Structures are given as C-alpha cells and as structure tokens.
Structure 1
Amino acid sequence: MSNISKKKSQKIIDELSKYLGINKKEQNIFHLSHINENEIKLSLANSNTKETLEPWFIVDENDEVKIMLYVKTLADFFQHAQKIQQNNFELRLEKAIYQKFPIDFNDVWVVAMDEIKNQLSNGVKEFNIDLDKLVNNIHKQYPNLFLDIKQMLQKR
C-alpha cells in the first residue's frame, strides 16, 4: 500500500477535515484497491480513533478521494439544504414584494403564495419561478395592494 501522506489526496482530506472540524487524529482514511472485476478491497490506511467517525475518506488507485457517510447523515444534509433553499426562496419573494411598496405586506404575500401554489400544481419547479415577474403581475392585477408612488409625487 502506498503512502498517501505525500499525495494530493492527503491535502484534499486535510482541507475537508479542517472545514468539517475534524483533526488529523480523527481522520478515518481507507485505501481502495481492485482485486478483480467483482471485488474491491478497502484497507484501513489511517485511523487513530477508537470510534468510527464520519466521514470515511476513501482514496482510490488513481489518488481520487471519495467520502462514505451514513445514510442518515446524507438525509440530514439534504433536509438542511432544502430548508436553506426554502428560506432563500422566501427571502427573494420578500425582497420582490418590498420593492413594489406594498400597503400591507401580508396581503401581497398571501396572493403571491396562492399564485406560487398554482404554478407548482401546474408542474413548474419552485426555482424556475421568476419572483420579480410574479410580483409585477400581482401589482398589475391588484394595484390597490400597493402604494402608487407616482400619484403620491403628483399630489405634492
């Protein structure tokens, strides 16, 4: 088995470990080698812990780094990513609404969410919805939900 500490893979593992808060002593590194067409061997190359911490870093014969995680960890990651995506979407919608000077933000929000639900039920993906265009359409359909800045300036 080759010494991976001198390879680029160790640098990648160290960078990922630092980002994940894993010190060098906690790294679990395996070397992957092909035995034949139907067999692959994982050999423990570096592990200084009694616990099996995630992730497992796997270095293949081409010095490429792979990571193995528990399914629960991966599912949790996707769940958190989905929450972040939803929060981002809501913030972008909020920004689009405030740019049109709503009289009552919540009223515009309810109309926007109804329109979004309608688009989603028609097969449009959430990330494909142009929120600025959506709010512009709401502004045109329901002008009474927004301040008329031009009219306010003309009254002065």
Structure 2
Amino acid sequence: MRRQAQSASSVDRADLEVLADQLGRAPRGVAGIAARCVCGRPTVVRTLPRLEDGTPFPTTYYLTHPAAVRGCSTLEAEHLMEELNDELGRDTTLAAAYARAHEDYLARRRELGQVAQIDGVSAGGMPTRVKCLHALVAHSLAVGPGLNPVGDRVLDLLRERALWDPSSCAC
C-alpha cells in the first residue's frame, strides 16, 4: 500500500472512472486519492468538506476499495464496534489517542476548507465512540500507522481474519 501521509495524490480521469466503478455512482467532491492499492488503483478518496451541490460532508477520508469495504462491513456485522466502544470506555490511554486522531482528522479537513455546519465533527464516531469502521480504516490508510489506534486495530483484524490486506492487490 502506498500512503500519502501529508496530502492526497492527484486525481485523473482514470481514477474517477475507477471510483465510479467502485462506488456504483459518480464520485462527489473528490479532492485527491489519499491511499492506493499496491496496483495503483484508489483505495481511499479524500473528499472536500462541501460537495458541489453545497451539502456539508464531514467524511474527509472515504474508503472505496470493494474488498476493504466488504471486510469492514463483515466486522461491523459481527458487532466489533461494541467491543471497541467498551474498550474506549475502560482504557484512558486508548481514548486519549483516539481523541488525538479526531483532532488530526479535523486539521486535515481544514486544509480543504472550513464549513461551519460540520465544525468539530470528524468521522467514524470520533472522538468518543466507534461508529463506522470504514471511516476509521480510511483515516488510518490515508495518514499511515500510529495515528488512529482504532483504525490501525481494525486494519490488523482485517489482515488476521484474511478479510483484506492492503499489502496485496485484491482488485
């Protein structure tokens, strides 16, 4: 997996076509590709905080790779979020690191613009709960390991369970 830790890579027509195929619809608000499969196809799209139609959009990092999306959906269906929420409530070190990931997410979105309606709102349930594994994995893939402890843990589980591995192409 090639990761752009500070900024998203540029987007060309081929990327937009792949994104449309992955999403089953035209991509919206694309600011860049934040992470790519080892084969070069988009895995995470970096999205503008306000879509073309004016809609505020808090999900800056959006997971698009179909195998990664399926893997996260499987873990969500198995109620992994409940386990992680329980752990966040017990582990103050984890909770503090997760809060720092939230602040990082907000700072990276501010690079793309300010939208008052979503000020202070990140994604995935940050900073106090785990709501969407897809968003947390997307953040981890976009910024690299060590920043979002929950996203990193989910990536580890995806690998361990052979649901998806970002170091192998599953396109």
TM-score when scaled to structure 2? Answer: 0.23
Return the structure number with greater strand share. Answer: 1
Q: Which has the higher contact order (CA 8 A, sep 6+)?
A: 2
User: Could you say which structure has the higher helix fraction?
Assistant: 1
Instruction: State TM-score, norm by structure 1.
Output: 0.24
Which structure's CA Rg is the greater one? 1
